[in-house]
A and B are shown apart, each in its own frame.
Chain A
């Protein structure tokens, strides 16, 4: 890593509108390698949309996003910005792991098949190596004995942990979590958060959109509070969560106490 580019993720002046609805109104964000950034904010604040812009599931209207030194969706050539082909975008995405609110496991595949699908199909890994690593990852999320189960035979928490293993299997440079516990029954939230805390400790770069203030407090290096399509406030969790400077952050946090 060169001295000038210490950030793994650089977002500058990111704008996104759905028709007349402006969802992101100029987001700037840097994420350092190994950093865990938790994005908090009320529903409709644009935090999930921003996350989806990072791996180009949504195309942004203005500004730019860089991951690992590469601009997402575009390439600068001879001082002209060229839109990338779908194939090139797929290559960029293949370094970014994503975990979805609804898990989105492939229901016709077993847990193990879910995990090895992208390593074999996208990264061209050999099958034995992919299976070996998948078993290791399933073991790490505590589901080694579930590898032959189909998603519908698993609880929500187990499904989400398989989804985390699936995202890790591509050896991502960056992990995106889109409200990973919002679709879970309350008693199953703990097991997923525990898995995510382990990953944070291991130095994985993570951007987590969540409503779990507790997780932000314990695992985040930095908390970003978004509202109305802008970053209202950011800083270390201790500062933002216990002593917020902005009134909107205060009113949001007061609902969780």
Chain B
């Protein structure tokens, strides 16, 4: 059979396999320029005595700072865990067919998202002026025994976080294909099991990234508790510079620690996202995809 493809004299040179890539001289120049500017800036900052780097080094691992760091981390972890659990309950309540549950959840979210966290913390801290005693049934406590700076900080941060997490989790649950809930239902799963085994694992893909955001916000939001005399990271460096007047170096100590924690969290978030994407094509370990590729051909023909 004669081919319709015509032949030109330089066709042999046109095969893209033989192509050369021109040296990217402008890209290289840009890289060098950017690097030079960055290094220059770093040098200026490093030799500027006003930054007080020796003081930063001296106080970076100071026991007071370390204690503040642990308070910040502890508050973040506890408030975040309570916030996520409560947020999940609120999200489910808000999506439920039960009007009462749905309205109550909406009311909670409306209030705690609608008022500043700082104001909420001060309210919790001053709860005793509103309710001097708290009683449940016959049990009764002095409010000041219950609401210490620590509990006020945890309650304030956690309830505020729960309101935001509720909306994030609700969005994630809504992102899962409706057919999944229906399938679970058709197989006789109860609602709790369907949520736990089928819906939530799939919702995690869209819940994790904004939750990472929330966690990073939370670490910084804990610095607000310094107003109710909780000795967190910011409070501890403040207490030092109130004595030594080395404001900038001490704030740099806090900044370095905040950056360090958020960097670690970014790495952790990446790992969690990879885990919840495991059912996606292309995110599989290479060896497993390969091992499955061969039998696929055979299996497809078996029943034809």
Give the interface of A toward B (CB within 8 A).
55, 57, 86-87, 90-94, 96, 98, 100, 102, 104, 106-109, 117-118, 121-122, 142-143, 145-146, 148-153, 155, 157-158, 161, 170, 188, 190-192, 194-195
Asked if B279 lies at the interface with its beta carbon under 8 angstroms from chain A, I say yes
Give the shortest distance, in Å, between A81 (CB) and chain B (any CB): 22
**Which residues of chain A have C-beta atoms less than 8 A from B202's C-beta?**
106-108
Interchain CA distance A108-B190 in the complex, whole Å? 19
Asked if A93 and B187 sit within 8 Å, CB to CB, the answer is yes
Q: How large is the interface on B (under 10, 10 to 19, 20 to 34, 35 or more residues)?
A: 20 to 34
Asked if A118 and B187 sit within 8 Å, CB to CB, the answer is yes
- Which residues 253-288 of B sit at the A interface, judged by CB distance below 8 A? 276, 278-281, 284, 288
Asked if B180 and A86 sit within 8 Å, CB to CB, the answer is no
**Which residues of chain B have C-beta atoms less than 8 A from A100's C-beta?**
179, 182-183
Interchain CA distance A55-B185 in the complex, whole Å? 10
Asked if B188 and A146 sit within 8 Å, CB to CB, the answer is no
Instruction: Tell whether A106 pairs with B198 under 8 Å between CB atoms, given A142-B302, A190-B304.
Output: yes
Interchain CA distance A143-B300 in the complex, whole Å? 9
Which of B179, B188, B288, B298 has the most chain A CB atoms inside 10 A of its CB? B188
**Which residues of chain B have C-beta atoms less than 8 A from A191's C-beta?**
300, 302-304
Asked if B299 and A108 sit within 8 Å, CB to CB, the answer is no
Subset of 6 A-B contacts with CB under 8 Å: A90-B188, A108-B279, A122-B188, A143-B299, A148-B288, A153-B281
Asked if B133 lies at the interface with its beta carbon under 8 angstroms from chain A, I say no
Asked if A150 and B278 sit within 8 Å, CB to CB, the answer is yes
A149 to chain B: closest residue by CB: B292
Asked if A91 and B188 sit within 8 Å, CB to CB, the answer is yes
- Nearest first, the 6 closest Cβ-Cβ pairs linking A and B are A94-B188, A191-B303, A194-B303, A142-B302, A104-B183, A93-B188
B189 to chain A: closest residue by CB: A122
Q: How many residue-residue contacts, CB under 8 A, span A and B?
A: 103
B292 to chain A: closest residue by CB: A149
Asked if B280 and A152 sit within 8 Å, CB to CB, the answer is yes
Kindly identify which residue among B182, B280, B295 contacts A57, using a CB–CB cutoff of 8 Å.
B182
Instruction: Tell whether A121 pairs with B193 under 8 Å between CB atoms, given A108-B202, A143-B299.
Output: yes
- Which residues 167-185 of B sit at the A interface, judged by CB distance below 8 A? 177, 179-180, 182-183, 185
Give the shortest distance, in Å, between B175 (CB) and chain A (any CB): 13
- Which residues 187-204 of B sit at the A interface, judged by CB distance below 8 A? 187-191, 193, 197-198, 201-202
Asked if A195 and B303 sit within 8 Å, CB to CB, the answer is yes
Interchain CA distance A96-B299 in the complex, whole Å? 28
Instruction: Tell whether A104 pairs with B182 under 8 Å between CB atoms, given A146-B295, A152-B281.
Output: yes
Interchain CA distance A38-B210 in the complex, whole Å? 48
Give the shortest distance, in Å, between A29 (CB) and chain B (any CB): 19
**Which residues of chain A have C-beta atoms less than 8 A from B296's C-beta?**
146, 155, 158
Asked if A94 and B187 sit within 8 Å, CB to CB, the answer is yes
Kindly identify which residue among B179, B190, B191, B201 contacts A102, using a CB–CB cutoff of 8 Å.
B179
**Which residues of chain A have C-beta atoms less than 8 A from B279's C-beta?**
107-109, 150-152
Asked if B179 and A108 sit within 8 Å, CB to CB, the answer is no
Interchain CA distance A21-B190 in the complex, whole Å? 30
**Which residues of chain B have C-beta atoms less than 8 A from A142's C-beta?**
299, 302-303
Interchain CA distance A153-B304 in the complex, whole Å? 20
Asked if A86 and B190 sit within 8 Å, CB to CB, the answer is yes
Give the shortest distance, in Å, between A122 (CB) and chain B (any CB): 5
Which of A91, A100, A107, A122 has the most chain B CB atoms inside 10 A of its CB? A107
Interchain CA distance A57-B183 in the complex, whole Å? 9
**Which residues of chain B have C-beta atoms less than 8 A from A153's C-beta?**
281, 284, 289, 292
B186 to chain A: closest residue by CB: A98
Instruction: Tell whether A145 pairs with B300 under 8 Å between CB atoms, given A94-B187, A102-B179, A122-B188.
Output: no
Kindly identify which residue among A87, A149, A155, A190 contacts B190, using a CB–CB cutoff of 8 Å.
A87
Interchain CA distance A194-B193 in the complex, whole Å? 33
Give the shortest distance, in Å, between A201 (CB) and chain B (any CB): 14
Interchain CA distance A43-B304 in the complex, whole Å? 27
User: CB-defined interface of B110-148 with A at 8 Å, one 1/0 digit per residue?
Assistant: 000000000000000000000000000000000000000
Give the shortest distance, in Å, between B178 (CB) and chain A (any CB): 10
- Which residues 31-82 of B sit at the A interface, judged by CB distance below 8 A? none
**Which residues of chain A have C-beta atoms less than 8 A from B300's C-beta?**
155, 157-158, 188, 191
Asked if B190 and A90 sit within 8 Å, CB to CB, the answer is yes
Interchain CA distance A170-B188 in the complex, whole Å? 10
**Which residues of chain A have C-beta atoms less than 8 A from B198's C-beta?**
106, 117
Which of A96, A153, A157 has the most chain B CB atoms inside 10 A of its CB? A153
Give the shortest distance, in Å, between A91 (CB) and chain B (any CB): 7
B288 to chain A: closest residue by CB: A148
Asked if A57 and B188 sit within 8 Å, CB to CB, the answer is no
Asked if B299 and A158 sit within 8 Å, CB to CB, the answer is yes
Give the shortest distance, in Å, between A145 (CB) and chain B (any CB): 4
Kindly identify which residue among A121, A150, A194 contacts B284, using a CB–CB cutoff of 8 Å.
A150
Give the shortest distance, in Å, between A157 (CB) and chain B (any CB): 7
Interchain CA distance A130-B187 in the complex, whole Å? 15
